[in-house]
Structure 1
């Protein structure tokens, strides 16, 4: 049997399938891994996954905050340009 090596991204995707409700038995048959391998991956990467999810959520919140800030500044800029043009024309 040919031994396939999975990269980190593939392992994380496989573990995500389990968290989404796919049974372990189905996963190990589909990917041709042993049950021990699956549990070793889970032990090794589970904390990394939760930490990465926390970081992603924080980045999403920061991104939303920055988008709102940009929108407010853009509106303020348009308002000031409008006032400036009115002042120039009078």
Structure 2
């Protein structure tokens, strides 16, 4: 997975600048991001504080770990079913 150049705190800081009245195009140019990226950040992190963003990241990481565990479990179960289903 590609790592972002910006941390959640930095993203929220950029969004706060825009809420304070800075022009979106100027912010994007100054920080070197596209307007599409800016609006994607705004959809995801809009109205959040830094602590909430950290909690969101932790929950996303835990969710990914649990999905991986579930996939491995289902794979093991299907392999056991296949093995037990064969006639000796």
The structure with the larger Rg is 1
Higher-RCO chain (CA-CA 8 Å, sequence separation at least 6): 2
Would you tell me which structure has more helix in proportion to its own residues?
Answer: 1
TM-score of the aligned structures, taking structure 1 as reference length: 0.49
